[in-house]
Structure 1
Amino acid sequence: MFVTYILSQIRAYMRYRETVRELSHLSDRELNDLGIVRNDIDYIARNSAAAA
Structure 2
Amino acid sequence: MALVHDTRTAEFGIANLFAGIADAIARRKVYRQTLRELNALSTRELDDLGIHRSMVTRVAYEAAYGK
- TM-score band by shorter chain is over 0.9
CA distance in structure 1 between the aligned counterparts of 2:45 and 2:56, rounded to whole angstroms: 13
Runs of 4+ in 1 over 2 A off after TM superposition: none
Structure 2: 5+ residue stretches without partners: 1-15
| Matching of residues 1-52 of structure 1 within 5 Å | 1-51=16-66
Distance of 1:22 and 1:8 partners within structure 2: 21
CA distance in 2, matches of 1:28, 1:43: 16
Aligned-residue CA RMSD (Å)? 0.6
Identity of aligned residues (%): 39
Larger Rg: 2
Q: Return the offset for 1:25.
A: 0.3
User: How many aligned positions are there?
Assistant: 51
When the two structures are superposed, what TM-score results if normalisation uses the length of structure 1? 0.94
Give 2:54's aligned amino acid.
N
